[in-house]
Amino acid sequence: MIDGPRRYFNVAHASDYTATTPSWIEERLRSGVLPYRWAGNRRVILRRDLDALMMGLPEEKGLCDPPAFMARCMGG
């Protein structure tokens, strides 16, 4: 059991924490946007780096186009 909030994440947990997909996290790791460390032969991402990444994304407001998969489902 983890006491207190988690501070370190692997790719799968990082995607859960940020409500994204593992492939989105992988892209940021490989492009150098998201730093990581090696521990136990796994990439470990710090919560502060995930928070900084998410806070650095542009904020969106107002209406937006539906995602591409929804357009396909709706016959568009």
Q: For residue 74, name the pLDDT band (cuts at 50, 70, 90).
A: low
pLDDT digits (tens, 9 = 90+) for 34-57: 999 999 999 999 999 999 999 999
Q: For residue 1, name the pLDDT band (cuts at 50, 70, 90).
A: very low
Q: What is the pLDDT of residue 21?
A: 96
pTM for the model: 0.74
Q: What is the pLDDT of residue 5?
A: 82
Q: Indicate the burial class of 26 (C-beta count within 10 angstroms; 0-12, 13-18, 19 or more).
A: middle
Domain extents for the chain? 8-73
Q: At what angle do helices 22-31 and 11-18 cross, to 10 degrees?
A: 110
Pick the CATH number of 8-73 from 1.10.1660, 1.10.287, 1.20.1280, 1.10.10: 1.10.1660
